[in-house]
Amino acid sequence: NFAGPYIQDLTPDPWGFRYFITTEGFNNIITTQSGTASTADGEKVWVMTAGPDSLLDTGSATSTLTGDDLGILIFGGLVKSK
């Protein structure tokens, strides 16, 4: 059981929409002996917003934001944000 920390309050994105979080990658997190964490099989964990057009263009399996989406890739490669 995870003891926290937890997000207490998450406000909407600048356009009034909810943030989108993919969690598939959390199922297979690997920690190396050096303490580095990554996901197995390149699974992705994203926190993103669909942007001003409210359409989510970025797929959960990709490492690159597309369209006007904004977000951060937490696992599944280098941390990337736009």
CB 53 within 8 A of CB 69: no
pLDDT confidence of residue 7: 72
Q: Tell me how crowded residue 51 is: count the other CB atoms within 10 A of its CB.
A: 21
Q: Are 47 and 26 in contact (CB under 8 A)?
A: no
pLDDT in the model for residue 30: 58
pLDDT, one tens digit per residue, over 23-81 is: 765 555 556 666 655 555 556 778 889 999 999 898 877 788 999 999 988 776 544 44
- Give the separation between CA 58 and CA 72, rounded to whole angstroms: 11
Q: At 8, which helix (H) or strand (E)?
A: none
Neighbours of 38 (CB within 10 A): 15
